Structure 1
Amino acid sequence: MSDPQSGGSFGASLREILADKMAFARHQEANLAPDTVAALGARIRETGVKYIYYMIPTLGARTVAKVVPAEHYERMLRKGIAFHRTALTDLQTSREGELIGGGVEAHEFWGLPEPETFQVLPWDPEVGRIFCTAYDPPHLGEDGGRLIPLDTRALFTAAHRAFSERTGLELRSGLEPEMTWVGPGIEVVTKDDQSPAYQVENLEKMRPVFKKVISYGQALDFDMIQGDYEDDGQIELNWNYDRAERTSERMTTYRQICKQVARELGLQASFMPKPYNGKMGNGCHHNLSLWRLADDGSAENVIEDGRVELHATETARQAIAGMLLHTPGSMLVMGSTVNSYKRYWDAGQFAPSGADWGLDTRGVAIRISANGRMEYRLPDASVNPYLSHLYLLAAIEHGLEAQMDPGDPGVPSDAIAGVVVPNTLGSAIEAFEADEYLMAAMPEELTRIFLQLKRDEWARYCGQITQWEFEQYWEAIP
């Protein structure tokens, strides 16, 4: 068994991946294979696309892109896009005036397209999109040609591939993205202390929204499966589970779909974790399963063993223990904003606040809601899905490597019993730094810059005078 202080097998593998100086060259060579160039050209011509967004998700779960006339696809396969490196950290300037992620003197990164990700945007069939992977340019010499760890999409994809090679397992996930819509015609009226959840009349008010969101999702290869109304203006539309990087990519796309639908309907669509007190926050539960891969391409869900009663297999228990043990250290990822933690303070709104697990109970961090899946309930709708899956995968592998025991539902093992979940962004920052395993497992540049972004956000919040303070202290002191 590898040393946990070095981040285990997970950390060793990531260090090897990020040390590969030939990553850019291999990607470029694959892009320029005659069959690849011809296939992308044929797709562009048959769809009639005239413009293409070349896109990369950022550390903060946004997306940066350049738009390029479609006929330049071969040039883009060779050269890709170039941005200042701090675009990957949302071009955020600190309170002290420093451009986080390298400052103004930071060099550019190069993003090579992944032609298999080409899709046509259903709201404008003349526009397509392709995801790219970010590299340090080869002309940097010793530092060039490597994958940039701030590209969380590419980092998770590489980490997951290596995890599967080591363990024979694949992580699959399905997300439950809740969000809040506001605007004319969708206002809700209810009796005092009565929830508007699930009522068909409220779904009817949202009919223009869900029809467009579902149809756009289906056009972009989502297998849309169900949706419901949950609280004032809050709906949740779900798509089928898949390999975790595909699920993450669809979450990135889903946000773009919702923003486009809001523009078309004259509404506002928000993924803010906790817009209102006394109402449910916008969570993004991660439903996770592990599948053992066979040589013939088949796969078996090892979270399931055929029993009818709700249960967790030994593999599931070890994975659960790893996730619970590292919940404090990963909360900065799962709840990445100041507002995220308001979800956990508002009692009675179904948001978990402890590192515990159970069978079909909504007050825990991880529940077995159905045989074959583990529902991790802490992430909220602002989450970077690539980063959340990366941290969950590292925690799961630690649990499997160490054969951890989570205890029984409601009776945590000694290893889990003392785990305390942070309840503010400030305490999450401290817990993030204190998790030696995760800090060693993840790339130093990623954790350093993520911490800088979150410390800056926390400092900005702590320095703001709020209306609540005026109401409490303006007249009431002394």
Structure 2
Amino acid sequence: MSELNTGGRFGAALRELLDDRSAFERHQDANLRPEVVAALGERIRETGVKYIYYMIPTLGSRTVAKVIPAHHYERLLKKGIAFHRTALTDLQTSREGELIGGGVAAHEFWALPDPETFQVLPWDPEVGRIFCTAYDPPQLGAEGGKLVPLDTRALFRAAHRGFTERTGFELRSGLEPEMTWTGEGIEVVAKQDASPAYQVENLEKMRPVFKKIISYAQALGFDMIQGDYEDDGQIELNWNYDRAELTSERMTTYRQICKQVARELGLQASFMAKPYNGKMGNGCHHNLSLWRVTEDGEENIVEDGRVELHVTDTARNAIGGMLLHTPGSMLVMANTVNSYKRFWDAGQFAPSGADWGFDTRGVAVRISANGRMEYRLPDASVNPYLSHLYLLAAIEHGIEAKIDPGDPGQPTPDIAAVRVPNTLGDAIQAFEADEYLMGAMPEELTRIFLQLKRDDWGRYCGLITQWEFDQYWEAIP
């Protein structure tokens, strides 16, 4: 089998990682070190937390959790928390009545806490949260003790460690999550064909929203840096870039913050990709950089000190990998039926092709500043761990194979031949057709993800809409 079919070094490393039966035991041993147990206990006592959410992100960008009285922390560091395996697939039942991800007979997984992630929820200081990592229970014999491939948070963290070991680089990212708010008092009045973006009056209407979000985010360790008003009810608030796994974790937390603020203010908040025609969709641009970290310091290898807008040869190869695998990763970056409406609505700043350029907003990869590659295809409903995982695989392939994207406006033949899917159905086909990415990712992950997305597409294709009645009810004779 060729390296293309097996996902190269990236795929080989993930397969080895997922075959490690000692993973649970090593995590458990680390949790039970006396200094770890003492430190978590002290944090719980000094903060006054009485209840803890033991949380894990799902394949579909949600978060599942159990709430447990805080004083049980030491027992849980050892044993973990049991969840039905289909919790990682959002307990979604298919149109045929099958519980996707193993059915009702699927065994439980054990979620071991990651104690360093303990934080206090700023809107209720009696409640804390800890992220967990999912394992198959050790009692399952040959399959027990292994990392569950559907735990995208744990999978990306492990994949990133391997990427750094092989390449010497770490991936850092900053996200631009847009979202739409509706409710009394924040309605926008604008001139016809004029955008409400950036207007201070619209920011003022959203002042109660952004004040609470920024305050809660800062309390949870975010370095909030800026925000703006973009379209009707749409705001974007940004935090500083960091290692990609930390950025992904903050995106998961940011969604929880926004939903909490909406509850407190009697508003609705949505990360739906395209709520309205004629208005901008909710994107989630990924601003990426590659860093070489040594004892002597750290270096962003996407830029090399030149003043003019540019990218280095390594960055060009990374861009080449991202563009070449754009079709195969679109099912991840734009993972809902509604996601593709964002690309069909012309003139709304959403990219429509696998191309790149300097400081232009119509491309898939935009170089708006030296040292940063802005990947513009993901929308606000994206699973950030999964998007970074697929980008990491594409970047490594680009660097390893020295894939040349060509110059802006002058793509190489391989990149020029790339066609970006424009429906969820097309994206499903492109996902399966990318031999490298299919070989790079765990079989269970791709199989279950495909089942979820095929079910979404089938439900949509079978739904009769008002538009169809309007178009065809009286169309003949």
TM norm. shorter chain > 0.5: yes
The within-5 A match list for 1:119-158 is: 119-158=119-158
Name the SS for the 2:194 alignment partner.
Answer: coil
- CA distance in structure 2 between the partners assigned to 1:449 and 1:337 by the alignment: 15
Identify the residue that residue 315 of structure 2 maps to in structure 1. Answer: 316
- CA distance in structure 1 between the partners assigned to 2:294 and 2:167 by the alignment: 12
Consecutive unaligned residues in structure 1, runs of 5 or more: none
- CA distance in structure 1 between the partners assigned to 2:132 and 2:293 by the alignment: 27
Identify the residue that residue 250 of structure 1 maps to in structure 2. Answer: 250
> CA offset at residue 414 of structure 1?
1.3
Name the SS for the 1:101 alignment partner.
Answer: coil
- CA distance in structure 2 between the partners assigned to 1:276 and 1:5 by the alignment: 40
- CA distance in structure 1 between the partners assigned to 2:368 and 2:305 by the alignment: 15
Identify the residue that residue 241 of structure 1 maps to in structure 2. Answer: 241
What amino acid maps onto 2:272 in structure 1?
A: M
Name the SS for the 1:468 alignment partner.
Answer: helix
Identify the residue that residue 7 of structure 1 maps to in structure 2. Answer: 7
> CA offset at residue 477 of structure 1?
2.5
Identify the residue that residue 384 of structure 2 maps to in structure 1. Answer: 385
- CA distance in structure 1 between the partners assigned to 2:414 and 2:429 by the alignment: 20
Identify the residue that residue 83 of structure 1 maps to in structure 2. Answer: 83
TM-score (norm 2): 0.99
What amino acid maps onto 2:343 in structure 1?
A: Y
Identify the residue that residue 362 of structure 1 maps to in structure 2. Answer: 361
CA deviation profile, 1:5-32 (whole Å, cap 9, x unmatched): 2101100000010000000000001101
- CA distance in structure 1 between the partners assigned to 2:210 and 2:320 by the alignment: 37
> CA offset at residue 332 of structure 1?
0.1
What amino acid maps onto 1:45 in structure 2?
A: R
What amino acid maps onto 2:373 in structure 1?
A: M
- CA distance in structure 2 between the partners assigned to 1:470 and 1:214 by the alignment: 45
Name the SS for the 2:149 alignment partner.
Answer: coil
- CA distance in structure 1 between the partners assigned to 2:368 and 2:384 by the alignment: 21
- CA distance in structure 2 between the partners assigned to 1:286 and 1:58 by the alignment: 20
Identify the residue that residue 267 of structure 1 maps to in structure 2. Answer: 267
> CA offset at residue 399 of structure 1?
0.2
> CA offset at residue 435 of structure 1?
0.1
The within-5 A match list for 1:90-101 is: 90-101=90-101
Is 1:186 equivalent to 2:186 in the alignment?
Answer: yes
CA deviation profile, 1:105-146 (whole Å, cap 9, x unmatched): 100000000000000000000000000000000000100000
- CA distance in structure 2 between the partners assigned to 1:342 and 1:141 by the alignment: 47
> CA offset at residue 395 of structure 1?
0.1
- CA distance in structure 1 between the partners assigned to 2:291 and 2:413 by the alignment: 28
- CA distance in structure 1 between the partners assigned to 2:66 and 2:80 by the alignment: 10
What amino acid maps onto 1:74 in structure 2?
A: E
- CA distance in structure 2 between the partners assigned to 1:5 and 1:281 by the alignment: 35
Q: Which runs of 4+ in 1 moved over 4 A?
A: none
Identify the residue that residue 293 of structure 1 maps to in structure 2. Answer: 293
The within-5 A match list for 1:201-212 is: 201-212=201-212
Identity %: 84
What amino acid maps onto 2:446 in structure 1?
A: T
Equivalent pairs, count? 476
> CA offset at residue 147 of structure 1?
0.2
Identify the residue that residue 477 of structure 1 maps to in structure 2. Answer: 476
What amino acid maps onto 1:315 in structure 2?
A: T
- CA distance in structure 2 between the partners assigned to 1:477 and 1:465 by the alignment: 18
What amino acid maps onto 1:60 in structure 2?
A: G
> CA offset at residue 4 of structure 1?
2.1
Identify the residue that residue 442 of structure 1 maps to in structure 2. Answer: 441
Consecutive unaligned residues in structure 2, runs of 5 or more: none
Identify the residue that residue 44 of structure 1 maps to in structure 2. Answer: 44
Give the CA RMSD over aligned residues: 0.6
- CA distance in structure 1 between the partners assigned to 2:438 and 2:116 by the alignment: 33
> CA offset at residue 295 of structure 1?
3.1
